[in-house]
A and B are shown apart, each in its own frame.
Chain A
Amino acid sequence: MDNNLGRTGYRKSLGMSLLYTLPMFLITFMFITGGKPDFSDPASALAIGVTFLLVNVLYFLMHYTGKTDTYRAVLFIIFAMTLSYTLISNMVSMRHSMSFSEADIMECKIPFCHLVIPMMIIPAALTKSIIFPGTIIGGFANIASMVVLWLFATIALGRGFCSWGCFYGGWDDGFSRIRKKPIIRKLSESWKWMPFAALILISLTAALTLVPTYCDWICPFKAVTEFEEVTSVETAAKAGIFVSLFAGLVVVLPVITKKRTQCSFLCPLGAVNTLSNKVTPFTVKVDKERCNECFKCVEVCPLFAITREGIKDGNISLFCSKCGKCIDACSKNAIMYGIKGVPAGSMKNFPRNLFLFVSFLFMAVFSAGSIINSLQSLFHYIF
C-alpha cells in the first residue's frame, strides 16, 4: 500500500494519495459549506471555493510527497495572517481603530482568545466567575466556544495545538522560516522552561488582581490583533511592552535563531499544552535502530523538544508540538508519528495517517472562516 521512497518514506502513489484525501475532501466540504454551497455572491462563492481547494491540495500534498511540516506550515501561517486581518478589519469597521476603549471593556465586548485560559482557572474556581471582559456565549470569539475548541483540540492533539490550532503560532513560525540558516545557533535549552515560570507568575498575579495580567501587560500578539487605547502613562507603557515583545520574540529572534521563540520562551498556554501531551494518544517516536545520530532533528526542532541525549535514548520530550519538522528532516526515517502504547514502526503508516487526519481537519475547519473572510475582502477589492 505505502511505498518507502528513501528520504520521503511516507510518500504515497497518486491514486493512494487521492484516496486518503477523499474523506478530508468530503468532511471539509460539509463543514466549510454546511453541505449547501451558496453561489448568490460570486466573491463569497469564489472565496469558499479557493479555501476549500487550498486545504485539500495541502492535505493531498502531505500524503503524495510524504512531507508534513512543509504543507502544515503553509496553512498555519495563512491562518495566523488571515485571522489577524479578520480581527483587525472587524475592529476597524466597528470602532475605526485597532484599539479598544474603556467603554468596550465595561460593556464586555473584547474578543476572547485561548491564551487567557491559564489565567481563568484559579479565579473561576474561587470566585465562580471569568476574569475577562468578553461575552460568555454568542457574538464574535465568545468565551464558551473558545474554551470548548481549545479543550477538545488539546485532549486530541496535546501540544499539537501549538502547531496545528493556535492562530498566533503562525507568526513566529513564519518568521523562523525567513532565513535559510540561523545566525545564532547556540541557545540554552533551559530557556524552554520559561513558559512554566510565566504560567506560574501570570496565574498568581491574575488570581490576586482578578485581571488577566498576561493579556493586560505582556501578550505580544496585541500588535497583530487589538490593544487598549493609549490614554495614559500606564497604557503607553503597556503598548511599549507588547510592541517590544512582538518585535523581539515574534520577529527578530525567530529570524536569527530559526526557533519559535515566543512559543518556546513566553507562552503560558504552551506550558499547559506541554503538560497535555501526557493525555493525548499521539506522539512522535524515535526508532533507535534506524537513527544514525546525525542530530539534524535537534537542529531543526523549533521548540527545543529534541535533545542529543534524548535522541540517544530514543526519546522526544513533552515539549513536542508534533509539527513534523524533524520527521521531514530525518534522512533515515527514524522519527515518526506514533500512538502511545504502540511500538514505533509496528503499524506502518497508520499512526501518521490518523494523526494527520485529526490534526489537519481541526486546523482546516478552524482556519476556514478567517481565510474565507480575508479572501472575500480581497475579491471584493479586486472585482
Chain B
Amino acid sequence: MKKIKIIAGTIWALLCLLLILILFPGLNSFSGSAAKLPFMKINPNYSGGEVAKQIISKNYTIDIRKPVFDGLIKERKSGFVQIDWRGTIPDDITDTIDYDLDGNADFRIRIGRGVQLAEISSFNCKVRKILISTPTSYGWAVRVEVQK
C-alpha cells in the first residue's frame, strides 16, 4: 500500500508538471474550448440582451434590445430595456420606441448629447424611468426601467 501511494503521488506530481508545460503553448486552444462551454456568455444584465429590432435611419441605426428581467432562478418583476444608437448621431435625438414590439409606441426619448440631457415620456404604464444614459464607443446607449 505504501509503495502504491508513493507511485501514485509521484505520477500525479509528474502529471502536474505536464499540465503546466502544456498550459502556455496550449492556452489559446484551451481558452477557445472553454469559451464554447454553455455558460460562457455574458449575463444580459451586463451585455444588455439580444437585439430584438433594428431601425435604420439616414445617418444612424437604433438597436432595440429584448427587455432584460433575468434573475437567479426566475425572472424579476422589474428589469430594463436597452436602446443603442449607432453611427453619426445628431446632438439632439428624439425617437419613439416600441420596445415590446406590439405595434404601439411605448415611450418617447429625448437625448441632448451636448448638455447630457435625457428625458422620457411614457405611453405605457410598464415604462418607468431612465436608468442609464451614456455616450459609448459606437454612439449612445440608454437603459430604461420597465416592469414585467
Residues of A within 8 A of B (CB): 27, 31, 101-103, 105-108, 122-134, 136-137, 142-145, 147-149, 152-153, 155-157, 207-208, 210-211, 280-282, 339-343, 346-347, 351, 354-355, 357-358, 361-362, 365
Contact = CB atoms under 8 A, between A and B. Distances in A.
A142 B24 contact: no
B100 interface: no
A105 B46 CA distance: 7
Contacts of B25: 31
**Which 6 A-B pairs give the minimum distances between C-beta atoms?**
A341-B9, A341-B5, A156-B16, A129-B43, A144-B31, A281-B13
A339 B40 contact: no
A267 B95 CA distance: 47
Interface string B23-45: 11101001110110011111111
B41 A130 contact: yes
Nearest to B25: A31
A103 B13 contact: no
A129 B39 contact: yes
B20 interface: yes
A151 B11 CA distance: 19
B35 A144 contact: yes
Nearest to A125: B39
Contact of A342 (B9, B40, B47): B9
Interface of B: 2, 5-6, 8-10, 12-14, 16-17, 19-21, 23-25, 27, 30-32, 34-35, 38-48, 70-73, 82, 132, 134-138, 141, 143
Given A137-B31, A342-B6, A351 B13 contact: yes
B41 A128 contact: yes
B19 A156 contact: yes
Contacts of B70: 127, 129, 210
A358 B47 contact: no
19 contacts: A101-B134, A103-B134, A103-B136, A106-B134, A106-B143, A128-B38, A128-B41, A132-B42, A136-B40, A142-B31, A143-B40, A148-B23, A155-B16, A157-B16, A207-B72, A210-B45, A342-B5, A357-B17, A358-B17
B44 to A, nearest CB: 7
A145 to B, nearest CB: 4
B110 to A, nearest CB: 19
B111 to A, nearest CB: 14
Given A101-B134, A131-B46, A106 B39 contact: no
A210 B71 CA distance: 7
A365 B43 contact: no
B41 A102 contact: no
A129 B34 contact: no
Given A137-B31, A341-B8, A210 B43 contact: yes
A145 B43 contact: no
A96 to B, nearest CB: 14
B27 A145 contact: yes
B27 A282 contact: no
A358 B38 CA distance: 31
B80 to A, nearest CB: 11
A101 B2 CA distance: 59
Contacts of B30: 148, 152
A355 B73 CA distance: 43
Contact of B20 (A103, A129, A134, A156): A156
Given A103-B141, A137-B35, A281 B16 contact: yes
Contacts of B12: 281, 339-340
